[in-house]
């Protein structure tokens, strides 16, 4: 089994003379990072589509997705408090199985999930900006805005993790305020006796789906709104005393977001008929406009949504770059990805590399503007991550035979097994009800990962031969 020794928290440089990452995140910043990463594109864009799958009981898929996320979060907590290093799931799978190909694919899958999520968010950012300013522009202009936004994210990430996390605090406050506005305005409408609460417990499914399969399909999509908690483990080297603060902040962050999601989905279906909600590209704006027509805040919601998806893009690109940095540092990926800016101490090579991929993906998905980009990329994101989560839950059980030098969180014996079963269930096509397009995108991405792995293996073999 491959053994990787974690660096000392006081080290100022890593192997090869590269400076170490800067520890800037305490409990407050970590909590805001987790909340800000979970809140965002999913709840703002997918509430209507989830209601379209199950009818008024749109809150149920969010609740089930929260339960699945909470179970897997326990496994992540055991591993991040045992191995407080960047690279997250890829590092844990590498320690558990020691198979470089498997590690590479996990790393690539997680990286792709972050980049696909950020790319969808960038496209949504551009669309919300156009809506907010009342711009009647074509697909080409929307694409240019999305690309420009991603370059702005690049600049912020290169500037430093401290600046990135501080901007996350601001954007988290904005997106949280938007969801609270939806809840408060809806409550005003509900207390006025105008809501129809009978819809909240009404299941309306497609004729070819049972209620159980419809809930599974909706949960697979709703899980996109719950992902984000796993990004925080990639920031472990930049967190102060991670073994102590990670469990409390992870559970608190998941609890806050889970409660908000359930409240928002209940309010949405109580205020707006399901058919109207599922047909809307901006479902939460539709809720506010229905509950308080003429209320000025409805005009501000596109801008709030814009900030929300911007936060998703920022944090996902932050995570993807740290993941590649961690794997480059461990020798699983090319060593140039571990290059750190000597002044800013940010993983500059990994940041630029992930941004180039994102720019290409944004351009690709924009070639078909009429396709359901957010739901397709969101579903692919959750598909990739659920497959990774299944491996993480297995890794917890495998790594139990390794003792740790310090105290760490324990997920127990039962939860990791339940985590494996639930994650696999939501991945398989006949149980999850996912559209085939999600598997096609994931297959192409993983095939690309295999090609890159072969090229990396060949390059390293050539280097070793030249050195010999």
Which residues face 239 on adjacent strands? 25
Give the model's pLDDT for residue 165.
66
| 3-class state of residue 193 by DSSP | coil
What pLDDT shows up at residue 10?
36
Q: 371 falls in which pLDDT band (50, 70, 90)? A: low
Q: What is the dihedral of CA 83, 88, 91, 96, to 10 degrees?
A: 70
Specify the pLDDT at position 279.
78
Does residue 16 carry a pLDDT above 60? no
The total number of residues shown for the chain amounts to 468
What are the tokens at 116?
């696909």
Smallest CA-to-CA distance from 176 within 35, 314, 63 is with 35
Q: Which of 202-206, 284-288, 351-355, 404-408 has the lowest mean pLDDT?
A: 404-408
**For residues 134-151, b (16+ Cβ closer than 10 Å) or e, as one string?**
eeeeeeeebbebbbebbe
Structure tokens that stand for 375 in this block: 């739901």
pLDDT reading at 428 higher than 60:
yes
Determine the pLDDT at residue 178.
85
Q: How confident is the model at residue 6 (pLDDT cuts 50, 70, 90)?
A: very low
Threshold 0.85, pTM exceeds: no
Q: What is the pLDDT of residues 373-382, one digit of tens each?
A: 667 777 888 8
Percentage of residues in the chain having pLDDT higher than 90: 18
Average pLDDT over every residue of 255-271: 91
* Ramachandran bin of 345, using left for φ above 0, alpha for ψ from -120 to 50, beta for the remaining angles: left
pLDDT at 4: 35
Nearest alpha carbon to residue 261 among 39, 8, 33, 28:
39
Instruction: Work out the end-to-end distance of the chain between its first and last CA atoms, rounded to an integer number of angstroms.
Output: 25
Query: Could you report the per-residue pLDDT of 57-90, keeping only the tens digit for each?
Result: 889 999 999 999 999 999 999 988 888 776 678 7
Question: What are the pLDDT digits (tens) for 232-244?
Answer: 776 777 777 777 8
- Helix or strand run (H / E) with residue 99: none
Predicted confidence (pLDDT) per residue in 310-358, tens digit: 877 887 888 788 877 877 776 667 778 888 888 777 888 989 989 998 8
Strand partners, 13: 19
Token pair in block for residue 165? 């996390």
| Cβ partners under 8 Å of residue 129, min gap 6 | 135, 145, 302, 306
């Amino acid at each position: 089994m491959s053994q990787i020794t974690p660096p000392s928290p006081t080290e100022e440089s890593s192997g090869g003379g590269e400076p170490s990452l800067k520890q800037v995140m305490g409990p407050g910043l970590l909590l805001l990072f987790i909340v800000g990463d979970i809140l965002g594109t999913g709840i703002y864009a997918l509430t209507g589509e989830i209601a379209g799958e199950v009818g008024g009981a749109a809150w149920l898929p969010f609740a089930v997705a929260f339960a699945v996320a909470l179970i897997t979060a326990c496994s992540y907590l055991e591993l991040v408090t045992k191995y407080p290093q960047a690279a997250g799931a890829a590092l844990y799978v590498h320690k558990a199985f020691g198979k470089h190909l498997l590690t590479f694919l996990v790393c690539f899958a997680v990286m792709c999930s972050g980049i696909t999520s950020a790319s969808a968010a960038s496209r949504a950012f551009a669309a919300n900006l156009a809506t907010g300013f009342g711009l009647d522009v074509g697909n080409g202009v929307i694409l240019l805005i999305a690309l420009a936004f991603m370059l702005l994210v690049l600049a912020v990430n290169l500037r430093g993790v401290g600046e990135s996390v501080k901007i996350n605090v601001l954007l988290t406050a904005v997106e949280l305020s938007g969801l609270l506005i939806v809840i408060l305005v809806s409550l005003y409408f509900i207390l006025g006796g105008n809501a129809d609460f009978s819809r909240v417990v009404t299941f309306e499914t497609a004729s070819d789906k049972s209620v159980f399969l419809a809930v599974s399909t909706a949960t697979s999509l709703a899980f996109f709104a719950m992902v984000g908690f796993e990004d925080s483990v990639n920031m472990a080297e930049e967190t102060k005393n991670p073994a102590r603060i990670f469990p409390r902040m992870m559970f608190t962050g998941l609890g806050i977001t889970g409660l908000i999601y359930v409240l928002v989905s209940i309010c949405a279906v109580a205020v707006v008929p399901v058919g109207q909600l599922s047909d809307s590209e901006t479902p939460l704006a539709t809720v506010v406009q229905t509950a308080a027509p003429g209320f000025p805040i409805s005009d501000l919601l596109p801008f709030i949504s814009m900030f929300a998806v911007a936060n998703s893009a920022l944090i996902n690109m932050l995570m993807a770059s740290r993941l590649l940095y961690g794997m480059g540092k461990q020798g699983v990926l090319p060593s140039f990805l571990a290059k750190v800016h000597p002044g800013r101490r940010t993983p500059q090579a990994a940041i630029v590399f992930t941004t180039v991929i994102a720019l290409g993906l944004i351009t690709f998905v924009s070639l078909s503007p009429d396709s359901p980009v957010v739901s397709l990329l969101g579903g692919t994101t959750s598909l990739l991550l659920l497959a990774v989560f299944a491996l993480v839950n297995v890794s917890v059980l495998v790594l139990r035979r390794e003792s740790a030098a310090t105290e760490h969180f324990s997920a127990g014996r039962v939860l990791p097994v339940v985590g494996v079963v639930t994650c696999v269930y939501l991945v398989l096509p006949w149980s999850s009800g996912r559209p085939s397009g999600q598997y096609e995108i994931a297959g192409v991405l993983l095939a690309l990962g295999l090609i890159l792995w072969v090229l990396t293996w060949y390059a390293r073999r050539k280097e070793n031969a030249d050195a010999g």
